[in-house]
Every structure is written in structure tokens, then in C-alpha cells.
A and B are shown apart, each in its own frame.
Chain A
Amino acid sequence: MELYRSHILVCGGTGCVSSDSLKIEERFKELIEKNDLKDEAKVVKTGCFGLCEAGPIVIVYPEGAFYSQLKVEDVDTIVAEHLVKGRIVTDLLYKESYQEGEMQSINDVGFYKKQERVALRNCGVINPEVIEEYIAYDGYEALGRVLSEMKPEEVIQIVKDSGLRGRGGGGFPTGLKWEFTAKAEGDQKYIACNADEGDPGAFMDRSVLEGDPHVVIESMAIAGYAVGANKGYVYVRAEYPIAVNRLQIAIDQAKEMGLLGENIFGTDFSFDMEIRLGAGAFVCGEETALIKSIEGKRGMPVPRPPFPAVKGLFDKPTLLNNVETYANIPQIILRGAEWFASIGTEKSKGTKVFALAGKINNTGLLEIPMGTTLREAIYDVGGGIPGGKEFKAVQTGGPSGGCIPAAHIDTPIDYDNLIELGSMMGSGGMIVLDEDNCMVDIARFFLDFTVDESCGKCTPCRDGTKRMLEMLDKIAEGKGTPADLAKLETLAKTIKNASLCGLGQTAPNPVLSTLDFFMDEYEAHVHDKRCPAGVCKALLNYIVIEDKCKKCGICAAKCPVDCISGTKGKTVYHIDTDKCIKCNACLEACPFDAIKKG
């Protein structure tokens, strides 16, 4: 066994990879070789640490030095100082982890302090491409125990007792789903994993697959034993190449070690699995469409019932859960249903992973106990809003969810509270909006997405969402009428009622929830032809504030369409609003804040 005095953990999640973490890993290896440290220091590529905002991230153990926003050149300094001389390079440490000359443990940093990592416990800790590291952190112990010591009914009972609910959107009790599938009659049953994460800005499932792929394999095998299935499929989009690659490596390793295949742990139980790639259609995240797609057919939803638990893949009973749901299972088996049920609120147990994005300081991935308030998530973990701007709303649940306004920021996050506020948990996207976001524009953004992604099967969804988008476009252009607002609401409700699948049933939510909480903004667009946040271009005018203008002419020099006139040093400048293309260049250029939009 090789021993090392230092482990260098380099984040290999998609976020950090896109900011060059692979080159950083390369450089570390190169310099360690050059400095003859290769028997002393080991470079480990891990999954996402969660704090993507601070990426690329490197953690050096045993000190636990948390280096952030590294450039490839910085590696030279870290090797020369930290690895060779043992001096932590404090200038490169994540700011919050180094205070008053003392390095803090990363677990004490604001971003991690309120988190509780169950599904993400191994992300950023182990090398996802080395099965031994997963095993070192209790990997496959749960599967071993289940197969050698428990009956299938006992496994289902534990999952039921834990109170775990589906993490993919609807929040259906997982244990019940397992029980239905177990009780369904059929000579052949299947386990499927929904990794078709399609919400804009969401990357929870991707991070689990990238950082801890074995947990999904172990959990699906446990599920297979519980419901009586011997074959599993993971449906993941081809747009997640790192996740697909690591999952495939993990499956191969598990097969090689006999953790997948025939007679696992010397029992009668056999289980095998494979990956099915999706082409990235949002509708394929809907369970019946996903099943069609795995079967090789066009991804379109079909009516339920029959539910997949009765008639799913290849018309056989199929258990379908999403990645994050599976990621909780081994811990529930090992630590017990009571432990899991002790986290969270009365009806929402455990933790939830959120992808935090938008107007927020700590963009990234966080896992918090259910019942944490939105305020804690946004201010304590997320680090608040950049530039001291005012919090306006948070969008949860992606294109199926809604916007929760500032007045409800102290709401504890759980399935039922979010639904009551006209939004939903969804898979866990959380987009923070500040005073500069126009709510009409936000509703339009999400609707634009669903218009594109509607599969076209149901008329209300296919044509209805398109008509809604046209109305929103009209409002954003200042051509909306009060009648449009009423029509928008009626149409939204029709689409919700008359669509077959979840996509159509929830597509109007972003519009309905903004109509509900931000009617004043819609009215400002319609009645006053004004966009209060200054986003909708057609409603904007740039004006020179005459008292403040110092006649310097910088704005005129910057204007790309020459619509600003005046004489340098002599006259106040003037913007010709007919010619102005609202590019914002003059406002940014003016050193005296003498230009405003309104």
C-alpha cells in the first residue's frame, strides 16, 4: 500500500472542469514529478465540492487548505510553498476560510456550516473513478447487509418508515412506490433511474453522478432486491458527458468486483444494469415519456394509469426513481429509518439538494435539511445578493415551478409549503432574483423554454403555451391590453387542466405565480407602458439628467449609433430616443451618473 503525506483533491465537476481544473490537475502532476514528490503527494480528482462560484477548487490534506479560484500558474506557487516547504499559501485560500491569520476548517465556512450532506456526502471527498475509495466510506455495506441479513419486505418497510419522498419533482412517498412495484404481478421487473435532469440551471443529479456514481448503482441493486427485479436502466442525457463517463467506469468496476452480476455477495440475487442515453428532451424527464425513450420509441407521454409500477418498461412492472432519491437509500439502510426521519419537517423528511443560481454570491450546490427557511438558504448558505441589491423573489422548481416573493422569505422549505405558495420543489433548482429582474421577463423566459420543449401531443400544451408566449411578448413590448391579462390567466388554467403530462400541467405555473404575486409589474407594463425593473427594452428610454451632465462627451463617443448630440464643454448632451437602440453603453460609460433609464 502506498502511503502519502499529502492528498491534493482537485474538483472534477463540470463547473470546475469548464474553468480549467483538468489543466490544474495536470500541472500538479507535472510539478510533483519534477520536484520528486511523487511518492509523497497524491493528486485525486473528485466530484463537485458544491461551491462552484469559487471554482476551480483544490483542497490539500492533511491541513484541509481550501484553495479557490485557482489559475494554472498558481499551482507552481502551491507546490513550491505548500508541498515543498509546508507553508500554506494564504493568499490563494478561499477568503472566508482564512480569517484573522487563522485557517478555518471548511466545515465552519458559512457556505458549508448549515448544510447537512446525505446525498452529497461523498461528493468532493472521494475519487469517483476508484471503487475502493467509495468502499472506504462504507460503500456497498448497505447492499451487503440487505442481501445477507434482510428480507425484501424489511427493506421496503425501512424506506417507508424513513418518510423519504421522491426528489425528482412530485414528492411521491418512495416506500409506497417500492411496495406497489413489489406487489405488482410479473415474471420480469425492472429498476430505472431518472437522470434526465432538464431544468435550466439545475445540476443536482449531474453532480451526484459525477461525484459519487457508485451510490446510484448500490441503491438500484438494493431496490432490485426489494421489488424483485434483476435489471436496471439509468436514463441520462448525452449532454452530461462527464457524468456518463464516470457512471460507466463505476458500472464496469462494480461488475469486475462482483457487486453487479450473478450471485452478488454469494446470495441468489443477481442484478445487472446499463446506461441509456437521452438526447436532451425535457419531456423525457416525465416518467412515461422516459420509459418510451428507453424502449427506443419517440419520447412522448402516455396516460396514467396504468402506472409504471404496474406496466412500465417493456410493459413490465418498473420502479422509477430519480438520482437524488436513490442517493439517500444506502444511508437510510445503514443509519436507520429513525435517523432519517429525525431530519426535516413533519411531512418532508431528510435533506434536499438545491442548485443555487441567479443573483447570488455563492452560486453552487447545497444540501440542507428540509424545513430550512429560504432566508437561511439564500443569505447564510448562499451568502446573499451581490452588490447589496434588494432581494425580490426566488424561483424554485424550474419551468414547472413559480416565483416566491420577498414577503415569504421566512417560509421553511418543504414540499407542501412550496406548493401552497404556487411553486414546487421540483428537482431543486433555485434561482434568486433581485430588484433588477423584471418578472414579466422571467415568466417569458420559462415559458419560452416550455414552448420549445413541449412534445406536441396535446393541443393545450402545444398551441396554448405558444399563444401565452405571444401575449407575454406583447406585454413586454408595451402593446399589451388589460384584456390580455385576463386572457392569459384563463388560458393558463385551461392548459393546466387539459394537458396529459406534468410538462403541460405545470408549464403555466411561472406565469400564474408571477401574476399572483407581481400583478403590479404586469399592470405597469400594460397601463403605464413602463418596465419598473428596466429590463424590457421596448419600454425603456435613456435620458440625460441635465443638472448632472458635465458636457464631457464620453457618452457620445461611446454610442454605437451616434444618437447622442451635444458640443463638448459647451452644451448638455441629448439622446435621440427614436434612434437609440438601448444598448446601455452610454449609461455604463458616464463617469457622473448623469444618464438614467426609465
Chain B
Amino acid sequence: MKSLEELRKLRKESLDQVDMRRSGKGTRIVVGMATCGISSGARPVMMALVEEVKKRNLQDVTVTQTGCIGACRLEPMFEVYRTGEEKVTYVHMDAEKAKKVVTEHIVNGKVVSEYTIGAYEK
């Protein structure tokens, strides 16, 4: 270890490894990971979300899983919770769509209406 900068650089890299264990508030992305979700492809969606969030170095965003949300025909699906905003439910997701949601909704704050449950039900 030759300097404080070197240590701080290493810390920044290492933070990703443990970030999840810090009690973060902010945005929560909850992926339906019951049998229905998994069999229709929730895993790659989940992993895409995790990767995208890390790649963009988004702080205060946690990706977690939940059981059956109840609308199995719409799986894979996930919901985005942000403090002060109404919950948004995205349906019929895949890895590509998930990445787009991260870019548009999580980063730019614009809900991707075409993927939401509201759009589907119409």
C-alpha cells in the first residue's frame, strides 16, 4: 500500500462486494421469484437487474426477490418501489426490457409505461 489514494480506490472496488449488506433506503426492485416466475424466466431478469444496477453504480437501489405476486400469467414481473412514488409493476419482462427499465425509470425517472401492468390490461 503506497498511498491513501490507492487504499480508497481499493475500497471503492470492494464496496460493491458488500453494498447489499448496508441498510439502504431509496429504490427497491422486487422480482417475483415463485415457481411461476422462475419457470417463465425470472432468473435472467433478476440477474440483468443486478448487473445493470452495479454497472451504473447506482447507490440506494436494492434488487430483491419475492414470492408469487398473484398474476402468474403476467410473469416474469417485477415491481419498483420508490419513496414518495406509487408502486410501478412491470410485466412480461425479459433481460433486455429489464435493462431498459433501469435506464429509463430508475436512472431518468421516467416510467416505461408500455411495459407496465396498466398498459397490458388495456
Contact status B7-A5, CB under 8 Å = no
Is the CB of B35 closer than 8 A to any CB of chain A?
yes
Q: Which of B46-54, B89-97, B105-113 participates in binding chain A?
A: B46-54
Is the CB of B72 closer than 8 A to any CB of chain A?
no
**Alpha-carbon gap, A145 to B54, bound state (A):** 29
Is the CB of B17 closer than 8 A to any CB of chain A?
yes
Contact status B34-A85, CB under 8 Å = yes
Is the CB of B31 closer than 8 A to any CB of chain A?
yes
Contact status B21-A140, CB under 8 Å = no
Contact status A136-B11, CB under 8 Å = yes
Interface string of B25-36 (1 = CB under 8 A from A): 000000111110
Q: How many positions in chain B have a CB within 8 Å of any CB in the partner chain? A: 36
Contacts A5-B65, A62-B63, A86-B31 given; does A265 touch B3 at CB 8 Å? yes
User: What B residues does A125 contact at CB under 8 A?
Assistant: 18, 21
Q: Which of A203-211, A256-264, A349-357 participates in binding chain B?
A: A256-264
- Chain A residue nearest to B46 (CB atoms) is A5
Contact status A3-B32, CB under 8 Å = no
Contact status A266-B3, CB under 8 Å = yes
| Main SS at interface, chain B | helix
Contact status B3-A40, CB under 8 Å = no
Contact status B1-A140, CB under 8 Å = yes
The contact of B1 among A3, A5, A86, A257, by CB within 8 Å, is A257
The contact of B18 among A6, A84, A107, A137, by CB within 8 Å, is A137
Kindly provide the distance from the CB of A245 to the nearest chain B CB, expressed in whole angstroms.
22
Is the CB of B2 closer than 8 A to any CB of chain A?
yes
Contact status B54-A3, CB under 8 Å = yes
Contact status B18-A86, CB under 8 Å = no
- In chain A, residues 88-116, which have Cβ atoms closer than 8 Å to a Cβ of chain B? 105, 107
User: What A residues does B35 contact at CB under 8 A?
Assistant: 85
**Alpha-carbon gap, A135 to B6, bound state (A):** 11
Contact status B10-A86, CB under 8 Å = no
Is the CB of B16 closer than 8 A to any CB of chain A?
yes
- In chain A, residues 241-264, which have Cβ atoms closer than 8 Å to a Cβ of chain B? 257-259, 264
**Alpha-carbon gap, A264 to B37, bound state (A):** 52
Is the CB of B23 closer than 8 A to any CB of chain A?
yes
User: What B residues does A346 contact at CB under 8 A?
Assistant: none
9 A-B pairs whose Cβ atoms sit less than 8 Å apart in the complex? A39-B47, A86-B66, A125-B21, A135-B7, A136-B15, A136-B17, A140-B1, A265-B7, A266-B3
Given contacts A86-B65, A148-B3, 13 further A-B contacts (CB under 8 A): A4-B50, A5-B46, A61-B20, A62-B64, A64-B23, A85-B33, A85-B38, A87-B34, A132-B10, A136-B14, A141-B8, A144-B1, A265-B1
- B contacts, CB < 8 Å to A: 1-4, 7-8, 10-11, 13-18, 20-21, 23, 31-35, 37-38, 43, 46-47, 50-51, 54, 62-67
